[in-house]
Amino acid sequence: MKKYLEIAWKWIVNKSTVIIVCCLIIVYLLAQSAVFQKETEKRTEEFQCQTSCFPQQNEYIYSGKVGSCWCYVDKSTLKKYNKE
């Protein structure tokens, strides 16, 4: 049993550079996937805001990570869009 563990440990040590690079690539790809998903959700929310306020102009205003849809009533007045 000890012989097999030594063989496995030597293999891991010899391939450690490749293992580390592969792990970094996987982490990078997961991070990019999360960013892409968040951007897609943001574009979807903004599109829904545009279609909800049509034909009026709209603003999708963010406060930190949370956003809300506002529709223009006239040149200087905004009204918050309610999804009711």
Tens-digit pLDDT profile for residues 25-74: 999 999 999 999 999 998 998 888 888 888 888 887 887 777 888 888 88
> What confidence tier does 81 reach under pLDDT thresholds 50, 70, 90?
confident
* Predicted pLDDT of residue 84: 55
* Predicted pLDDT of residue 65: 75
For 57, the token pair is 């102009």
Q: Which parts of the chain are beta strand (E)?
A: 58-63, 66-74, 77-80
The secondary structure of residue 81, as a DSSP letter, is: -
One-letter-per-residue 3-state SS of 45-64:
HHHHHHHHHCCCCEEEEEEC
By three-state DSSP, how is residue 77 classified?
strand
pTM above 0.75, yes or no: no
> What confidence tier does 24 reach under pLDDT thresholds 50, 70, 90?
very high
